[in-house]
Structure formats: C-alpha cells, structure tokens
Amino acid sequence: MKKAGNLFLAIAAALILALGGSGCTDDSDAAPPAEDAPKYVILMVPDGMGLSNVTAARIFKNGPNGDPLDFEELPYIGYQRTHSRNSTVTDSAAAASAWASGEKFNNGEISCLDDNGDGVCDGTRINTMTVLEIAEQKGLSTGLVATSDITHATPAVFGAHVHNRKCESEVFEQFLANNIEVLLGGGIATNRSSCLLTATDAAYNANLITDAQNNHGYTYVTTETELAAVPANTGKLLGLFKDGGLTPIYQRGAANDEPTLAEMTEAALKVLGQNEDGFFLMVEGSQIDWANHARDLKYQIGETLDFNDAFKVVKNWAAQDKDRYNNTLVVVVADHETGGFIIEGPYGTLSNAGDTATQATDMAGNLLTDDDANPIYEADLEGFFGSNAANYTTQSANHTAVDTIIWSNNWVCGQAMDNTDLYNIMVNWMN
C-alpha cells in the first residue's frame, strides 16, 4: 500500500471496512456503490505495457530516485493471466474480449465465438452482453477513447461482436447501434483481408460518419481545437483525428492539432459526467504496444507518459466531487506485454532524467526526428527488446505471454487473477 496522501486510498480503506476480505474470484463482490448512487467504471488500458515500460518512463521523467508515476500510486496491485482460448500468447482482440465479455476468445475475435469459421458469431457465449452493453441497458452512459483507430481491436470488443478484428466498418456500425455516447480516436478502418463480411472503402466509412451526425445525434470533431470547444451539454461526441492512429507524442511538431490522450479523456468525462446514474469509460493508450513492436524506446516512453497524463485527468476528475470520489472504480491494466523489453543499464552509474545528447535511431539505424525535423534524443537508459531477437533489425517484436500488472483503487483487484475476472468485477460494481 502506498502513502496515505494518495487520492484513492480513502476509497479503498472504506471498502475494506465495509466488506472485510472476500477474494477476487469469479463470484466475488466488488463492493458496488449503494443502489441509488451513481456508478462510475473507468477501465484504463496501456496496451502492450510491461512493468519494465513503467520503470523506463518513471526513470526518464523523474530519475531513479524520483516520484512514482501517478497510476503507480493506486493502492492495490495485482496481476492477471493473459492467454487466449487458442493461444498461450494472446492478441489484443482476444485479451480485451476477455475483459469485455468474461470468457476466453480465440485470437482475432471481437467478443464473438466463430468456431466453424463462417464469419458469423455462433451464439454460444456464456455472457451475451459486454460490460459496455450492460451499462447502456442500466441507463449509464458509455464511452471509448483510444490513440489507435477507434475501431481497433481493444475499443471494438466493448461495443461490437464480430468474427474478425479486421471487420472495422462493421464494428463502427455496431457502435452506432449500441448508442455509445463518446467515441474518440484515430479514424475508422475498413472491412478488409481476413474479414468475411463485404469489403468496404473510405467512401463507405465517410457515409458512416455522415450517418452518425445526421441520424444518431453525434457532434463531430476532427482537431484538438474543435474538441476543446465542444459545449459542456453535448449529448453525443464523435472525434476522429487521424486515420490509422494519432501521431505519436514524441513525433508531434508545433503545428500539430491532434489531441493528447489526456485531452480526449477530459472531453469524454465532460460529456459522460452529465448522466447522474453514472457511466462506463474505456481509455486506451494504444500505441505503447506499437512502440514496443517497433523496438523504439523513446516512442514507448512518450506514449507511457501520455497515458499517465490521462490517468491524472481521471484522478483530478474524481477528486472534484464526493459522489465521484466514493463511487468510482478505476482499473489500470495492460491486455498483454509486447516486445519482451528489459532495461540492461547503465550499470555502475545512475541514469539521469530526461534526454541525453545522443540522437535516437530506429531499428535500421536511421536517425529519428520529429515532424518539424528536430532531432529526437535518446533516454539515459540501455534497453533491449528480447522478443524475436534473432531478427532484431529487420522484423518487429511480438507479443509475449507474461502476466500483466493491475493497479486499482479497489482491494478486490489486489491479487492474482485471470483476465476474465475483470468482467465480473466491473459488472458487479454496476449491479
């Protein structure tokens, strides 16, 4: 347990006093608020983040002896198994589907079991509704925020049921049908390759955006400037800021007008917070995973710190109101680890916070610059991405099967569990 000044410590202590010590099992009671109280569930996903990523970001920001990152100060720490239904090493679709729907799925499936491979969900799921769909049914508002395309695997699993993660136009159509109040991310990808549904193109997706505005009541924004100007009483918000995913934080030039993850999170909380019954919100730092695939330490650090800034927004939001403070469940957890990243040095000296004077390079040895052609400098760390190491300079790193850490304000998450257990914890909170 961390220092007593932590924002969420008082909440956790109150839950302990109220409930005693039941464990984090499939039927555990996650200490939901009183029946007539608002219920807030905020799931924050640093996609592909291993514990070594947290170490690297903390050292870069604050030095080896510096303060922890904000989400590290959540008082309860556990860990989860990540394997999928058909693979020891999961992908994001199966891993996030386990959270969203409470059972194991095959790699590539979006809260859908398609065992015969015909492109149609079999209808054999244990839980027919995702945690987001349950929230909507109970009258709570819902939102999805990501730095990838908004139809990418992790956000997709909460608001859609599709046999393959590449059916992204279909995912967005199901988002609209599910009446999700806030959708903020990169863009909408098409139905492609392994998707067995009808192929789509950019024109098809443009029509979906028009449909969202004209027939589903969304306010539509495409820049950070427009997002900041969204009125406080906005009912439904769609923000698509860059097809394929937002520009990585460390590459952004001075003229970039894309929001940060923190700014998108703040906008989502503003819209969703109007519902007096509460809301479910998923926030994903999608590109920590991409940085680890690319074996790019500065990319990884930038996206991890961007995610930490989004957590600070949540922390400050909860501190402003007694109902929020008492009735918010916050879970920070990565779907899987990517890259097998380890910190090998410096050995014999302590790292300095911040940049060094050495320009960073990519896997092929090319010097890195931002969008204004300014050099990107290395961190004072010696790192190595152990996954697929035999092809270090020619191929990306892969996902690994290691367990991932859970940080939470609720004691029920402070132990070992399966990733499917988080579904029950979130649903119990809303119940």
**Residues forming the active site:** 92
Strands 355-359 and 377-379, bridge-based pairing:
antiparallel
In order of 113, 266, 298, the CA distances from 246 in angstroms are: 30, 17, 16
Half-sphere exposure of residue 286, counting CA atoms within 13 Å on the CB side?
26
Give the other-Cβ count within 10 Å of 232's Cβ.
8
- Whole-angstrom distance, CA of residue 142 vs CA of residue 42: 10
- Whole-angstrom distance, CA of residue 147 vs CA of residue 250: 14
For 360, which DSSP code? P
| Per-residue tokens: 174 | 């199901």
Asked whether 416 and 79 are in contact (CB, 8 A), the reply is yes
Strands 399-400 and 337-338, bridge-based pairing:
antiparallel
DSSP conformation letters of 123-176: S--SSSS-HHHHHHHTT-EEEEEESS-TTSHHHHHHH--BS-TTBHHHHHHHHH
Which secondary structure element, helix H or strand E, spans residue 301, and what is its range?
helix 297-319
- Whole-angstrom distance, CA of residue 107 vs CA of residue 123: 17
| Per-residue tokens: 251 | 């590459």
CA nearest neighbour of 158 among 427, 413, 398: 427
Based on DSSP, count helices (H) and strands (E) in the chain, helices before strands. 13, 16
Residues in the chain: 431
Instruction: For tokens 């059972």, name the residue.
Output: 103
CA nearest neighbour of 313 among 197, 184, 411, 217: 184
- Whole-angstrom distance, CA of residue 337 vs CA of residue 335: 7
For 108, which DSSP code? T
Q: What does the radius of gyration of the chain's CA atoms come to, in whole angstroms?
A: 21
In order of 125, 126, 210, 226, 258, the CA distances from 122 in angstroms are: 8, 11, 31, 42, 39
